[in-house]
Amino acid sequence: MVRLSTLRTHATAQRLYTLGLALLLVLSEVFSSNIQQALPGFSHFCRLLLTGGAVVVLLGKILFCTHYTGPLQWGVVAVVLGYTGFAALYGGDHWFFLFALLALGAKDVDLRAALKVYLAVAVAGLVLVQLLHFLTPLVPYRFYCRNWDFGYGHYNGYGARLIGVFFGWAWLRWPRLRWFDWLGLGALTLYTALVPGSRGALGGMLILLALFAAQRLLPRLLEGRLWKAGLLAFWPVITAASLLCGYRYNPAQPLATPILFKLNALLSGRFEIWHNVFWQAPASLLGGLPTDGDDQHAIDNVFLALPMNKGVLGAVVVAVVFLLLLWRLCKNGHTCETMCMAALLCYCVMENKLFLPAANPFFLLLPCVFFWPGDGKLPVLAPKPAPARH
């Protein structure tokens, strides 16, 4: 029988984790919006309070309410927190450390319950910001861009919050997607296309919908070796391609590479941005160049932003972690999670939001890497597909 004290510890751990998750989502959804321009003092205080509260709560859960099987797992916790803390300070990306806290804290957590909290808080935050943006001066228009910024300074910032809801909803409901789920996900995709016009978010949504449809029609295709090999090859191949395209494309002589010129137009000028940053600051071992934001110096590609911000060392470390996650998901036949990760990686080609929890709920999967289970059963959300009948 399960001891009462163990049940209480699990309940406390779940509450602490969902509280920390909710605090960080409020930070990202509400107080990372343009309210910082209208109420700078109040917003700064709230950001400090939310960040500090989330760090304390999540550290408490990780250190005092999580069961570890031995010193090796404690060592993993120390290494992950130590490295991400250093890299966040050195590169100015505090979300990197906060993302690691969410990843470590997800150990022994009810993922379905946590994802429901994620969706509830994310949707509430989005709705609140939109109401404040259109009905009050508290969330003002900030930048001139081709579309209205919807309270987040840029339409791609709004798209990042929308795709987080899309990913969370699709992941939670698979494989029990009903007609109203397809209708709702399709409506959110159409809204992203017609209202903010965020190409990166739209592409990620369309790819996941296409993969879900393909899995229904051709289940063996997304459970075979070819699909798994392609998914594992995506990270190194797209990194090499991004580096090569960013280096080869010259904005001063765009027609010298006509194919890249057409691709650059298709990708909203991504090659031009990447090329300019490359020439301004070559990659180094530890990085340190700020690469995320809404200004034109930002690199809207995770695979290029990593070596610039986290350095070559950080790019290799992050790649190893996510490749190990992909390998374990593929090896254990978790088709839903592999489809979700494929859509996320495609989104990361267009945006640098891998470590923003509001855009990426798949931090819940990282215990599969950091705390591999002895029984071989990965802590995932979706069930495995039923075996095909012969």
Instruction: Give 4's pLDDT tier (boundaries 50, 70, 90).
Output: very low
Q: Cα-flanking dihedrals φ and ψ of residue 244, to 5°? A: -65, -45
Name the DSSP class of 211.
Answer: H
Q: How far apart are CA 329 and CA 288, in angstroms?
A: 32
Instruction: Give 114's pLDDT tier (boundaries 50, 70, 90).
Output: very high
**389 pLDDT higher than 60:** no
Q: How far apart are CA 376 and CA 382, in angstroms?
A: 16
pLDDT at residue number 297: 52
Count of C-beta atoms within a 10 Å radius of residue 319 = 16
pLDDT more than 70, % of the chain: 93
**Could you give the angle at the alpha carbon of 260 between the alpha carbons of 258 and 265, nearest 5°?**
100
Q: What is the mean pLDDT of the chain?
A: 91
Instruction: Give 275-330 pLDDT, tens digit per residue.
Output: 777 677 777 899 988 876 544 456 888 998 899 899 999 999 999 999 999 999 99
Check: CB of residue 57 under 8 Å from CB of residue 150.
no
Name the DSSP class of 93.
Answer: -
Count of C-beta atoms within a 10 Å radius of residue 111 = 19
pTM value > 0.85: yes
